[in-house]
Amino acid sequence: MFVITGPSGVGKGTLIRGLLERMPELELSVSATTRPPRAGERDGVDYHFLTPDEFERHVRQGDFVEHATYSGNRYGTLRSQLERHLDAGRPVVLEIEVQGARQVRQALPEAVAVFIAPPSRDALRARLVGRGTDSPEQVQERMDTAEGELAARPEFAHVVVNDRLERATEALEAIIRAARGARAKHTCR
C-alpha cells in the first residue's frame, strides 16, 4: 500500500495521474468526504460524497482506516475500499493529507508513505489560486493549514519535491518500483 501525502495544492493528484499512466497495475482508493462536489466531480469516482451524518455513522461503525477534518470538511479512507483491492492482491495508492498519513503509519507500518513538497510556499499559493477551485478565503485557509503540513516533512522517509512535473513523476515512480521490488524479493525468500 502506498500513501501519497503533502499539502493541498502541491500537485498530488496530478502526480498520481502520471504515476497511474506509467504503472496501470496500481489502484487508486476513492476516499469519502463531506465536502460538496466541485464542478465536474463525480460521486464514486472522485470521492464518495457523504452527508456529515453518513460520515459520522461510518466513523462510529469503525469503517475508516483513517479519517481527518481538513478545512472544515471530513475526509476518510473506507476499509472496504482498501480491502477490495488488497484482497485481490492489487497494490493500492491513497492520496491523503498529513493527519491521515500519520494514522495509516500507526495502523499499517508496512505502508510506504511519500511526502510531496512544493518548491516554495509561493509556488504552493500560486497553484492553489491558479486551479481556481477555491475562494480567496479558502486559499488562505489551505495555506494556513499547509504551514503545519510542511513541518511534517521530516517525518517521512521519502520526499519528492514537485518542481518539474516530469522529473517529480519519475522520482515518485522510482520510489514505488523500488518498494515493490523489495517486497517481491522478500516474499520470494
31 sits near ligand 5GP (criterion: CB under 6 A): yes
Specify the residue, 97 or 188, whose C-beta has the smaller distance to ligand 5GP: 97
Q: CA-CA distance, 104 to 96, in Å (whole number)?
A: 10
**Cα end-to-end distance, the chain, whole Å:** 20
For the record, the C-alpha cell of 35 comes out as: 465536502
| Residue 65 binds to ligand 5GP (criterion: CB under 6 A) | no
Stretch that binds ligand 5GP, among 71-79, 105-113, 120-128, 169-177 (CB under 6 A): 71-79
Binds ligand 5GP (CB under 6 A): choice among 26, 81, 95, 171: 95
Asked if 81 is part of the footprint of ligand 5GP (rule: CB under 6 A), the reply reads no
Provide the minimum distance between the beta carbon of 161 and ligand 5GP in the complex, in angstroms, as a whole number: 17
Residues 115-144 that bind ligand 5GP (CB under 6 A): none
**Residue position matching grid coordinates 505502508:** 111
Residue in 28, 97, 162, 175 binding ligand 5GP, rule: CB under 6 A: 97
Which residue carries 498530488 as its cell? Answer: 12
Q: Residue 68 CB, nearest distance to ligand 5GP (Å)?
A: 4
**Residue 121 and residue 109: Cα distance in Å, rounded?**
30
Closer residue to ligand 5GP in complex, CB, 99/173:
99
Sequence-distant (≥ 6) Cβ neighbours of residue 28 within 8 angstroms = 16, 20, 92, 93, 95
Distance (Å, whole) CA 134 – CA 156: 28
Q: Taking contact as CB under 6 A, which single stretch among the options 50-58, 91-99, 120-128, 169-177 is the one that binds ligand 5GP?
A: 91-99
Nearer to ligand 5GP, 82 or 175 (CB): 82
Residue 95 burial by Cβ neighbours in a 10 Å radius (0-12, 13-18, 19+): buried
Cβ within 8 Å of residue 5, ≥6 positions away:
12, 95, 96, 97, 98, 100, 101, 113, 114, 115, 116, 156
Rounded least distance, CB 96 to ligand 5GP, Å: 4
Instruction: Select the residue interacting with ligand 5GP from 34, 55, 58, 66 (CB under 6 A).
Output: 66
